[in-house]
Every structure is written in structure tokens, then in C-alpha cells.
Amino acid sequence: MDIEKIKIVLEILKQCWSLNSSSKWTRENPDHGQCGVTALVIQDVFSGDILKTKVNNEWHYYNFIDDERVDFTASQFPGSIYYSDYKCKRIEAVLDTNLKQFLFLSSEFRNRIKNYANLVTPKRKLTMVSE
């Protein structure tokens, strides 16, 4: 995923994140608590894998797309992240969120990306857990 696409996707995510997508959301730190749900939605749209790393003794989820780590929620942490890049199953990220939050973010994100021609054609149907 090229840097321009990452910037556009991050801007769209910032418009979507709210208390509806994470109970930890605040205006001061809008991506706080958004990692699991965001990784799921991004995987649905752009494909790739979900990776995880321990940050402050909790799992932090992010994506691996086109042989590259892409972490849209890294700025929720005050310092640098030392990535372990453990592969994880989708269900692990699912357990970091709930269905209501997932459906909200997925719907909001998919509706907003329609305004960006040629950004992406979603790779997966709307599904919280895949087989």
C-alpha cells in the first residue's frame, strides 16, 4: 500500500472513529482502542493479514498488506512501538471488539471510501469472522 493511499485511508478512518467504534475513543486520542476493529475492517477491504504485538502488556492489532506492515492506530501510544509482528487469527482481533462496533466502523468506512475513485474495491463481504 503506497504512502498516499495510507494517508487517505487514515484520514477516512479518523472521520469514522467514535465512541460507536470503541468505548475508549476520545477527541484527544481518537484511535485509542480502535486497533482490533480497525484491523478487521482494513483486512476486509484491502485483504492481507492481521498481525499483533504486545504494547503495555496488551495485544495491539494492525495489518500486513502487500508485504508491508500498516498500522493505522499506532499514534494511540505515546512512544515508539517495538513490533514483534506475530501472525494472528482473525478471531483474536474479533475478541478485541464487539459486533456493534465492527458493523458501525465497517459501514462508515465503506460508505466513505466510495467518495475516493480507484482507492479500492473491497476484497471481502461484510463479515466479522471468516472461515
Helix, strand or coil, per DSSP, at residue 69: strand
Query: 116: pLDDT confidence band, cut at 50, 70 and 90?
Result: confident
- Residue 10 contacts residue 107 (beta carbons within 8 Å): no
For residue 74, the model assigns a pLDDT of 97
Q: What angle do CA 104, 99, 93 make, to 5 degrees?
A: 105
Residue 124 has pLDDT above 70, yes or no: no
The Cα-based distances of 118 to 43, 90, 115 in angstroms read: 17, 27, 9
